[in-house]
Amino acid sequence: MTDLVLPAPVTPVRSALRRFLSLVLIHGVLIAGAVFMLAPFVWMLVTSIKPPAEIFNAEISLWPKQFYGLQNYGFAMEKAPLLRFALNGVILCGGILIVQLLVAIPCAYALAKLSFPGRNALFVLVLLGLCIPVQVPAMPLYIALAQLGLLNTYFAMMVPFFLSVFAIFLFRQFFRSFPDDIINAARLDGMSEFEIVWRIVTPSAWPAIAAFSVFSAVAHWNDLYWPLIVISDARLAPPPLGMMFFADAETGSNYGALTAAATILTAPLVIAFLVARRRFIDGITVTGVK
């Protein structure tokens, strides 16, 4: 072995240096990306504890000279029903998510594991459904809801999203890797297809369900477009619409109070994500969806 001639002798020092440099490069890029993503959020937090005079100051400072947080948060809490908005957000997201799961999981199971004529054509239709943005059916949906007298209800806010094509697609991909033998064993043990879905397949799909829940909750918590169309009653407003009402009516240009309200309304999402972070990442890696 000693008489082997290496083409380019790599000294330990040089290889260590190279590894160090590549680490610096990789982490540098990642840190830059993280800063870019976090900057608006941090700016919101900082603004929410600044007095009005400092907000409009020309110099950029990451910490206020005068801590004005209590006043800003107090004003936001007092003048706007933020907890009501948050509760509306929870009802909206929870209601949508539950119905989405109830519909999408059996659909995905059928598309992944049952063989019936037209299955592939149906799946193609599902994929086509992914391409249709919510703005396209907005008019007919609005007219239908108005005719039924359902405007200004939670139901009106939720109904367009009950059937999530994305959820069907995601769960189908996940269920496809579920072993057929286990499903066959369940059939031999006397389970109906519905029981197989809920008692055997779904418990194994927690990573996918957690991942989808985060997507769904974030999307509908932050959705302004559809609530703006069907809701005019401030008591039913979800967070973004509530923020809009609040900005118009109460605060004008009180950015400190506005950002304080925004901080309060984004907090539940951030906390929920931090709690479910591990599962969320599992779900994405398992399903290969991002």
Give the binding site for other proteins (CB under 8 A): 179, 181-182, 184-191, 195, 200, 203-204
Nearer to other proteins, 100 or 202 (CB): 202
Output the CA torsion 124→130→135→136 (10° steps): -10
Q: State the nearest-atom distance from the C-beta of 203 to other proteins, in Å.
A: 4
CB 55 within 8 A of CB 256: yes
Token code pair at residue 82: 């933020």
Residues 6+ apart with CB under 8 A from 229: 138, 142
Residue linked to tokens 């779904």: 202
Burial class (CB in 10 A: 0-12, 13-18, 19+), 93: buried
3-state class (DSSP) for residue 231? coil
Nearer to other proteins, 71 or 204 (CB): 204
Nearer to other proteins, 109 or 246 (CB): 109
Nearer to other proteins, 187 or 278 (CB): 187
